[in-house]
Amino acid sequence: MDSLNGDLGIVLTQAQDAGRWVYEEQARSQGYSSIAGLDEAGRGPLAGPVVAAAVILPVGFDETGIRDSKAISPKTRDKSFDKIMSGALAVGVGIVDAKIIDEINILRATHAAMKAALNDLGVAFDYVLVDGLPVQGLPAPSLAIVKGDAKCISIAAASIIAKVTRDRMMLEMDREFPGYGFAGHKGYCTKEHLEAIDRLGPCPCHRRSFAPVYERIRECRLPGLE
C-alpha cells in the first residue's frame, strides 16, 4: 500500500508540473509525437460561418497569454494569435459557411470544419486533442476533453486561432452588410441583432435554419424563406 501511495504521489506531482501540457505529455508517453489541438468558434451565432482551427505547438512553447479564447480580451487574443502563428509548428483553419450549415446542420458543419482544419495543417500528425465531445471520423487517434480550451494548451491555442479568424470575418461582413451590427455581436443572438433582422430581413450570411431567423422569416414574411 505504501508503494502504491508513493507511485500515485509521483503521478500526481508530474501532472501538476505538466499543468496544461498534461494531455500532450500523456500522448507522448503513449508513443505519439505530433499532437494537434482542435477547437471551433461560432456554433451558436445566427449568422456567419463556423470556424475550426488545428494547432501543433512545439515542446516548450511559451504559454503566456495562451488561454481559452473566451477568457481573454480581444487585445490579448490578437497578440496571442500572432504569437501562435509565428511560433507554432503548424496551424490549420477550416471554414463552413451559413449556406452549408443550413443544408447539413450545425453539428455536421462543425465536424466538417474540424476535419478541414486538420487537413489544412499541411504536416503529418498522429494524435488529436479535441475540445468537447468526441468527433467521429478524424484522421488520427483522438481524445475529447470537455472544456479542453481551459485545460489543454494545444486546444487553447486552437480556440484563439478559430475565434480571431471568425471575428475578423465578421468585421468584413459588417462592412459588406451594414446595419446588422456584426462588428459588435459577431452574429450572436442579441436584442440588437434580432431587431436588425426584423427591420432589414436576413442577409446572405444568416443561418435560415436557426429558429430565431426562420421564425422571423415565416411570421413576418420577410424575404429569404425560399
Helix (H, G, I), strand (E, B) or coil at 18: helix
Residue 171 makes CB contacts below 8 A (sequence gap 6+) with: 182, 183
Is residue 210 included in any domain, yes or no? Answer: no
Is residue 113 included in any domain, yes or no? Answer: yes
Mean local confidence (pLDDT), 3-17: 36
Is residue 154 included in any domain, yes or no? Answer: yes
- Bridge-based pairing of strands 142-145 and 35-41 is unpaired
Mean local confidence (pLDDT), 179-197: 97
Mean local confidence (pLDDT), 99-110: 98
- Bridge-based pairing of strands 35-41 and 127-131 is parallel
> Following CA atoms 203, 204, 206, 207 in sequence, which dihedral angle do they give, to the nearest 10 degrees?
140
Residue 23 makes CB contacts below 8 A (sequence gap 6+) with: 129, 143, 145, 148, 151, 152, 154
**pTM score, two decimals?**
0.89
Percent of the chain at pLDDT > 70 equals: 88
Q: Residue 226 pLDDT more than 70?
A: no
Q: Residue 225 pLDDT more than 60?
A: no
pLDDT at 220 (0 to 100): 58
Summarised one tens digit per residue, pLDDT across range 22-62 is 999 999 999 999 999 999 999 999 999 999 999 999 999 99
Is residue 202 included in any domain, yes or no? Answer: no
Helix (H, G, I), strand (E, B) or coil at 167: helix
Summarised one tens digit per residue, pLDDT across range 155-170 is 999 999 999 999 999 9
Is residue 5 included in any domain, yes or no? Answer: no
Mean pLDDT for the chain overall: 90
pLDDT at 83 (0 to 100): 98
Segments forming the whole domain that contains residue 102: 19-176
pLDDT at 18 (0 to 100): 56
Summarised one tens digit per residue, pLDDT across range 128-145 is 999 999 999 999 999 999
Total Cβ atoms within 10 A of residue 58: 8
Read off the DSSP letter of residue 206.
B
Provide the number of structural domains found in the chain.
1
Is residue 82 included in any domain, yes or no? Answer: yes
Any idea what the CATH number is for the domain that residue 154 is in?
A: 3.30.420.10
Is residue 198 included in any domain, yes or no? Answer: no
Is residue 150 included in any domain, yes or no? Answer: yes
Q: Residue 188 pLDDT more than 90?
A: yes
Distance from C-alpha of 110 to C-alpha of 51, rounded to nearest angstrom = 8
Distance from C-alpha of 100 to C-alpha of 178, rounded to nearest angstrom = 23
- Bridge-based pairing of strands 35-41 and 50-56 is antiparallel
Read off the DSSP letter of residue 96.
E
Residues 129, 145 contacting (CB under 8 angstroms): yes
